[in-house]
C-alpha cells in the first residue's frame, strides 16, 4: 500500500502506537507538543538535530530499517560527544506519497530499535509529502550533569589526544549500523577530567582542526599511529568521515591510568593516543587533511 492511500493521521497512529513510554513522558505523540519532565536542577538540557537525506546519506536501495537506525544514531552520537544522556526524540519524516507504507514501517522499526538501545523515547513525529528524495530529521533532547558536560573548547596545550575504535571505510557498512559511544563517554567523564571532546562525523582531517580551533590551540598528530579499519589507508582515516568515534583531550598526567582502566573496562574497543595539542599546529602531510565538507564534496 502507498502512503497516499493511508493518510497522515492513520499512518502516525500506526507508527507511534508501537513506541515505548516511560515515567518522564507526560504527553507523548498525538497532541500538539510532546510534554516531558525536565532534567533536575543540577543538570543541563542538551538539544540536537540532525538529518539523513536519500541519495546523499543513503541510497534508494538501502534497507530502510538501517536508514532509520542511522537517522537516530547520528544525533545520539552528538550526545556521546558532550557526555550527555539522550532521553526524548522527535522525528520529521519527509517522504513521497508514492512510497510504500512498508518502507516507512521498516524505517520506523530502525528508528525505534536505535532509540531503545539507549532508553530514548520517540515522543513526537511529523510527516510531510515531497516531490523529491526522502529525508528524515531527528531531534533529540536529553541532559548532562553540569560538572560532566564536555564541550569542544576547553582543550589545553600539551593535552593528549585520543580516539576510540578504528577509522576509515565507514561507507562499506559501519555508517548504517554503528553504535554511538555513549556508554564509553559516560564512563570517561565519571572517571577522568575530559577537557574537550567531539564525535568524528566528517573525518579526523576535518574534525580535529575544528576541535583545536574551538580550544584555541594547535595540534600535532602521529599519522602512523592512526587506528585503521581493515583495508583502510591513512587517507581513509582522515577523510572518509562517518566514523562516529570519539576524539578527546585529557591531561598527559592521566594517560597511564586511562589506558589501563580503558583496557579493563572496554577490552574490545581500541583506544589510541594519536597526538597532542600544542601551541601551534604542525601537521605532516597537510594535503591529506580534507575531511568531508558538505556542499563541497560529493559522496
Q: List the interface residues with its own copies, window 11-50 (CB under 8 A).
A: 11, 26-27, 30-41, 43-50
Looking from the CA of 40 toward its CB, the CA atoms found within 13 Å total 2
Burial classification of residue 210, based on how many CB atoms lie within 10 Å of its CB (0-12 exposed, 13-18 middle, 19 or more buried): middle
- Kindly tell me which residue out of 64, 124, 169, 275 binds its own copies, with binding defined by CB under 8 A: 124
Contact set for its own copies, span 192-211 (CB under 8 A): 198-199, 210
Of residues 35 and 225, the one with the C-beta less far from its own copies: 35
Query: Residue 258 belongs to what H/E stretch?
Result: helix 255-265
Q: Smallest distance, Å, CB 249 to its own copies?
A: 14
Subset of 142-181 contacting its own copies (CB under 8 A): 143-144, 149, 151-153
Q: 70: helix, coil or strand?
A: helix
Q: How far is the CB of 169 from its own copies (least distance, A)?
A: 22
Q: Which is nearer to its own copies, 287 or 295 (CB)?
A: 295
Q: Is 212 helix (H, G, I), strand (E, B) or coil?
A: helix
CB of 75 to its own copies, least distance (A): 8
CB within 8 A of 152, min separation 6: which ones?
Answer: 196, 197, 198, 210, 211, 214, 215
Q: Please answer whether residues 93 and 141 qualify as being in contact, where contact means their C-beta atoms are separated by less than 8 angstroms.
A: no
Site string for its own copies, 88-117 (x = CB under 8 A): x-xxx-x--x--------------------
DSSP state of 63: -
Report the site for its own copies in 239-298 (rule: CB under 8 A). Answer: 293-296, 298
Q: Considering the complex, state which of residue 185 and residue 272 has its C-beta at the smaller distance from its own copies.
A: 185
Window contacting its own copies (CB under 8 A); options: 128-136, 157-165, 168-176, 263-271: 128-136
Among 62, 63, 106, 130, binds its own copies (CB under 8 A): 130
Binding window for its own copies (CB under 8 A); candidates: 8-16, 165-173, 250-258, 279-287: 8-16
Alpha-carbon distance of 15 to 28, in angstroms, equals 13
Determine the 3-state secondary structure of 10 from DSSP. helix
Of the listed pieces 121-129, 158-166, 186-194, 278-286, which binds its own copies according to CB under 8 A? 121-129
Q: How many Cβ atoms are within 10 Å of 257's Cβ, its own excluded?
A: 12
Cα–Cα distance measured from residue 118 to residue 100, given in angstroms and rounded to the nearest whole number: 29
Of the pair 40, 280, the CB lying nearest its own copies is at 40
Instruction: Report how far residue 56's alpha carbon sits from residue 173's, in angstroms, rounded to the nearest whole number.
Output: 15
Residues 101 and 51: their CA atoms lie apart, in Å, by 20
Number of residues that bind its own copies (CB under 8 A): 76
Indicate the residue among 114 and 232 with the shorter CB distance to its own copies: 114
Amino acid at each position: 500500500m502507498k502512503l497516499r492511500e493511508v493518510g497522515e493521521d492513520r499512518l502516525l497512529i500506526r507508527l507511534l502506537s508501537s513506541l515505548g513510554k516511560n515515567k518522564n513522558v507526560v504527553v507523548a505523540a498525538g497532541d500538539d507538543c510532546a510534554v516531558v519532565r525536565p532534567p533536575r536542577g543540577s543538570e543541563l538540557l542538551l538539544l540536537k538535530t540532525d538529518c539523513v537525506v536519500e541519495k546523499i546519506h543513503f541510497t534508494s536501495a538501502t534497507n530502510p530499517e538501517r536508514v532509520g537506525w542511522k537517522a537516530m544514531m547520528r544525533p545520539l552520537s552528538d550526545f556521546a560527544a558532550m557526555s550527555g544522556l539522550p532521553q526524548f526524540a522527535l522525528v520529521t519524516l519527509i517522504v513521497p506519497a508514492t512510497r510504500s507504507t512498508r518502507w516507512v514501517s521498516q524505517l520506523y522499526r530502525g528508528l525505534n530499535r536505535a532509540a531503545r538501545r539507549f532508553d530514548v523515547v520517540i515522543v513526537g513525529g511529523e510527516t510531510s509529502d515531497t516531490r523529491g528524495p526522502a529525508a528524515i530529521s531527528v531531534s533529540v533532547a536529553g541532559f548532562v550533569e553540569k560538572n560532566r558536560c564536555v564541550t569542544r573548547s576547553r582543550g589545553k596545550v600539551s593535552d593528549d589526544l585520543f580516539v576510540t575504535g578504528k577509522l576509515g571505510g565507514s561507507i562499506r557498512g559501519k555508517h548504517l549500523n554503528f553504535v554511538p559511544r555513549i556508554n564509553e563517554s559516560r564512563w570517561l567523564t565519571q572517571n577522568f577530567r575530559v577537557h574537550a571532546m567531539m564525535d568524528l562525523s566528517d573525518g579526523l582531517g576535518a574534525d580535529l582542526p575544528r576541535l583545536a580551533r574551538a580550544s584555541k590551540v594547535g595540534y600535532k598528530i602521529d599519522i602512523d599511529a592512526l587506528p585503521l579499519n581493515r583495508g583502510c589507508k591513512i587517507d581513509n582515516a582522515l577523510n572518509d568521515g562517518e566514523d562516529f568515534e570519539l576524539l578527546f583531550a585529557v591531561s598527559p598526567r592521566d594517560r597511564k591510568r586511562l589506558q589501563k582502566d580503558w583496557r579493563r573496562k572496554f577490552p574490545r574497543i581500541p583506544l589510541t593516543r594519536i597526538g597532542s595539542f600544542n601551541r601551534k599546529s604542525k601537521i605532516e602531510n597537510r594535503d591529506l587533511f580534507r575531511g568531508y565538507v558538505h556542499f563541497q564534496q560529493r559522496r
